Structures are given as C-alpha cells and as structure tokens.
Amino acid sequence: MAAHDTRMLLLGAVALFEPVNGYQIRRELLSWSVDDWANLQPGSIYNGLATLTRQGRLVRHDLEDGGREVAVYELTESGRAELERLVTAGLEDVGVVDRKGFSAAFGLLPLVPHEHALRSLVRRRVALEQLVARLADPGGPAEAPPHALRGVVLWLDLAVAELAWLRETIELMKSGSLRLDSSTWVPPADDPGWQMNADRERYRTLLGR
C-alpha cells in the first residue's frame, strides 16, 4: 500500500474519534482488516502516528488518566487539510488494478460533506468510463502475447463491475437512500465505539474542553 494511503487511514481514524489514544486507533484500524487488504501492520500504526506528529499533521497530548499516562492524538489544521486532499485523491484517482486508495477513502466518507463526496464519485465514474472504453478498444496491442491480452480482459471485467457498482452508489446517494452519516445505524451494545466515545469525552475534560 502506498505511503499516502497509510497516512490517509491514520489521519482518518484520528479524525473519526479525536481525541483518541494510540491503542484505540490500532484496534479500530485492525477491525477494518487493514493488515489484510491494506498491508498496514500493527507496529507501523504507532510509527505512523509518531511520524505524523513530527510532521505537524497531528498533535499529541500526554495525559494522566486514572493514575496512568496515556498519549492521545488530535488533528492539526495542517492534518485536516492533508486528510481532505488524500481522501479526494483516493476517491477520484482510478488505477487499472490497485483500488486500495479508493477502499481507504470510501471507508472515510462520513468525514466528507455529502456534496463533496458526490462530486468526487461522479468524477471517478467519468474516469472509469474512459478506462473501460480504453480497455475495450479493439485497436489495442494485438501483437501482445495471448496471456497478456487475457489479463487485459480481467482488467476490463473488474472495471466494468466497479463502474456498475459506482453508478448504483451515486444514484443511492442522490436519492438519499444512502446516507454518509451514522444517523441510520446504531452499533450493537458491545461495540468498542461506545467506550471510545466515553473515553473521548473524558479526554476532552482532561484537556479542559
């Protein structure tokens, strides 16, 4: 997974729950199976948070919480601008085979204003339509080996499938059937998010908010 996609996931996880501690960010990202599809390993999450803090994208607060020290993170204005740039690029940039950036950005859609998200997905649809037309062009490299041409057929089938899904997703968003916020979904009682919300309020109190 590209470094900019890793930054997007880390900044996005902080933005969803800030102020939030490193363990909670690690647990949340692993619940998205990022160690599988994004190749983002648990150890690199802490290293990434430290790097983003040094770069001024995050601010770290060392708090005493119930007799123990805990490091909690929040986005800086620079971090918010970077996250917006990365999510927009992840939604709009179309690759032939690599969709990891799009998967990461789509998972962060609740952070994006509805019209912004819809505009970016429409731009992706246009780019996908152009990609499908290019891959389906019979005037392509006929001199390529048969197995390579067969590989292009796979790329085309995947692009066509994504295009159909994307068109449906855009229509659902336009009709209001697909909402980007969490107002239509309540997590189960044992979801870790409830504890994260409680911790967030306590951290805010400790920070004098």
- pLDDT given for residue 1 in this prediction: 52
- pLDDT given for residue 16 in this prediction: 92
State the amino acid at position 34 in one-letter form.
V
- pLDDT given for residue 138 in this prediction: 63
Domains along the chain with CATH numbers: 3-181+197-206 (1.10.10.10)
Residue 146 — very low, low, confident or very high, per pLDDT cuts 50/70/90?
A: confident
- What's 75's DSSP letter? E
Distance in angstroms (rounded) separating the CA atoms of residues 118 and 130: 19
Distance in angstroms (rounded) separating the CA atoms of residues 74 and 33: 23
Distance in angstroms (rounded) separating the CA atoms of residues 173 and 166: 10
Q: 69 by DSSP, 3-state: which?
A: strand
Q: How many residues belong to the chain? A: 209
Distances (CA, A) of 197 to 113, 169, 203: 22, 29, 10
**To the nearest 5 percent, what fractions of the chain are helix, strand and coil?**
65, 10, 25
Instruction: Answer left, alpha or beta for residue 41, where phi above 0 means left and psi between -120 and 50 means alpha.
Output: beta
Check pLDDT > 90 for residue 163.
yes
Please state the separation of Cα 4 from the chain's center in Å: 11
Query: Using CA of residue 103, residue 108, residue 113, residue 114, what is the dihedral sign?
Result: positive
- pLDDT given for residue 41 in this prediction: 76
Mean pLDDT of 20-46: 83
> Do residues 27 and 42 lie in contact, with contact meaning Cβ atoms separated by under 8 Å?
no
State the amino acid at position 116 in one-letter form.
H
> What is the reported pTM?
0.88
Average per-residue pLDDT for the chain: 89
